[in-house]
Structure 1
Amino acid sequence: MAYVPGVALLAALVAGCSAGSDADDPDADSKPGSPTVTAAPPGKYRTLPESCRAVPRSTLKDLLPGAAELPEEQQEKVYEGTATVTYDTDRKVGCRWKSDAPDAARNLSIDFERVVSYDPSVSDDDRARDVYGRKQEAAALPAPGGVTPSETPDGSGSASPDGTPSGSPTGTSSATPSADPSASTIGPGEDLRPRLLDELGDAAFLDDALTRAGSAAQHRTVSVVFRTSNVIVTVEYTEQPARVTEVPDSKELQEKAQALARKLAETLSE
């Protein structure tokens, strides 16, 4: 029993070391005076709309004129649309519609993307701004009065003798904003080339691409992309005439694509 006090002393020393250890202390690494990191605010939107029901039936009838000539059962199938395959409907949803008519085929698609930042120091809005910025950069919009290679069928950026880019949308050389920001009608003096758009979400742009190289029939796709808070919306509207010699009208497609984009923006803000 003479060695028991020694054992007791050893146990006391071990207990004292354990009590003074900071291994299990979550604040052990913090230093006095270190700044506290405040989490960035979340985005405005936590969910997304049901994409295939986001476009009113009356709008679909206008955008897909060929569907009106179909039997009622087939009309319903066209107007229902086809949902985009996605694995997280809280982050990304979309829908597609297609209509064939004797004179032309029309395709419409809409996509909603809710951007979430997993970095506590970066807000959802800032992250969405970066994602939108990359989309705008990829569109390679021309500078005012300029021409981009994408405006020509061969990608050379060549222009016709009168200075109009070959294969580009018909329009004037300068844009004249509409007096009514909510109006969908494009004025006679407005530039129809790819461009930034005003009064649509927090930021928006329009792209207009005519595809003819390597295709028997030309088709034109007008894309409108806009961001509102942490949600990015893309509208694509395509027309392919039945006749090879016909060129889809930029003005009509742009008017209708912009009008739909504004309706979707209003729906999101409700």
Structure 2
Amino acid sequence: MPRQAGVKAYARASVPGIALLAALAVGSAGCSGGTTGEEGTPDSKPGEASAAPAAPGKYRTLPEPCRNVDRGQLKAMLPGAAALPEDQQRKLLAGEPAVTFDTDRRVGCRWKAESPDGAHQLVVDFERVVSYDGAVSDDDRAQRVYADLLTEANLPAPRESAPVTSPTPGATAPSDGATTPPGGPSAPPTGSASASPSGTPGAPDPAELQPRTLGGLGDVAFLNDVLAKVGSSSAQDRTVTVVFRTSNVIVTIKYGEQPGRTDQVPDSRTLQDRAQGLARKLAEQFSGSE
């Protein structure tokens, strides 16, 4: 075959191969155009930046509650400890650690003291909340956990003051300024109760001792106060619970008393004051560990 004819035949044979390579190149460019890395996913818009991950929580570890409750405060909250021999008192105040699977996520401690005058129990629990959702911060997740605890507590609605009414026509005004309607003394004011949280029969029910949300303690906080009978006996047990959130940590304190006599009612004010005092000290410790 002449040389010129051979070149022409080779060129004709190469045309389909060149066309195939060109088609593959075009196809490859078309596919890569919809999956740009930094530009975003196929649904992203040009110039749209990806959302930054939510901020992590302030606390990465938890303190040991058995070691972080002041011994002097423990003695005040557990009066029965003072009557124990020194070795038993030391063991009681050391507390009993809660059994948990991950001490970086949850820790707790329990104390209990008994005496002829009654039994006192204290439980302290720390929970470090971690969000596994990149769009939800640890603090936001902790707030949801706190909100669930608040809902479960089912606190009563804040009590409103009795409305002020005008004196009844014809009523006499005693020396103390109160008005007495004709025909006898006035009825008890709205909101009075047969027994107060402090256990005094016939005393008014102080609004400041009712289960309620608390201010000035952590980021958010609430207090619950429950008085219940012990089994089928007439003995009564009172448990005061204080819960507060500080960043991504939930702190729960449960402080209870069961009097030695069945005709006694645990004093609400004393239990609440002690539980809130401990809560404030723990909140200060967390603030100091930032």
TM-score scaled by length of structure 2 = 0.72
Structure 2 equivalent of residue 169 of structure 1: 197
- Of all paired residues, the percent bearing the same amino acid is 56
Structure 1 residue 118 corresponds to structure 2 residue 132: yes
CA pair 244-21 structure 1, distance change in 2 beyond 3 A: same
Structure 2 equivalent of residue 235 of structure 1: 253
The equivalences for 1:1-270 within 5 A come to 21-22=31-32, 26=37, 27-29=40-42, 30-145=44-159, 163-165=191-193, 169-170=197-198, 191-212=208-229, 214-216=231-233, 217-270=235-288
Distance (Å, rounded) in 2 between the aligned partners of 1:61 and 1:104: 15
Assess if the C-alpha contact under 8 Å between 2:197 and 2:205 holds in 1.
no
Distance (Å, rounded) in 2 between the aligned partners of 1:74 and 1:15: 84
* Alignment size in residue pairs: 241
Distance (Å, rounded) in 2 between the aligned partners of 1:215 and 1:164: 28
Assess if the C-alpha contact under 8 Å between 2:97 and 2:108 holds in 1.
yes
Give the CA deviation at 1:31.
3.8
Distance (Å, rounded) in 2 between the aligned partners of 1:223 and 1:28: 49
Letter in 2 for 1:39: P
SS at match of 1:121: coil
Instruction: Summarize deviations over 1:17-38 as a string: whole Å, max 9, x none.
Output: 5676549965553442434212
Give the CA deviation at 1:48.
1.0
Assess if the C-alpha contact under 8 Å between 2:192 and 2:205 holds in 1.
no
Instruction: Summarize deviations over 1:162-217 as a string: whole Å, max 9, x none.
Output: 75446651475665xxxxxxxxxxxxxxx211112121111111111001174422
Structure 2 equivalent of residue 179 of structure 1: none
SS at match of 1:133: helix
SS at match of 1:42: coil
Structure 2 equivalent of residue 151 of structure 1: none
- Structure 1 outlier segments of 4+, above 4 Å: 4-28, 165-168, 171-175
> Alignment RMSD, CA only?
2.8
SS at match of 1:243: coil
Q: Which runs of 5+ in 1 are unaligned?
A: 147-160, 176-190
Which protein shows a greater Rg?
Answer: 2
Distance (Å, rounded) in 2 between the aligned partners of 1:229 and 1:102: 42
Distance (Å, rounded) in 2 between the aligned partners of 1:173 and 1:165: 6
Distance (Å, rounded) in 1 between the aligned partners of 2:195 and 2:229: 9
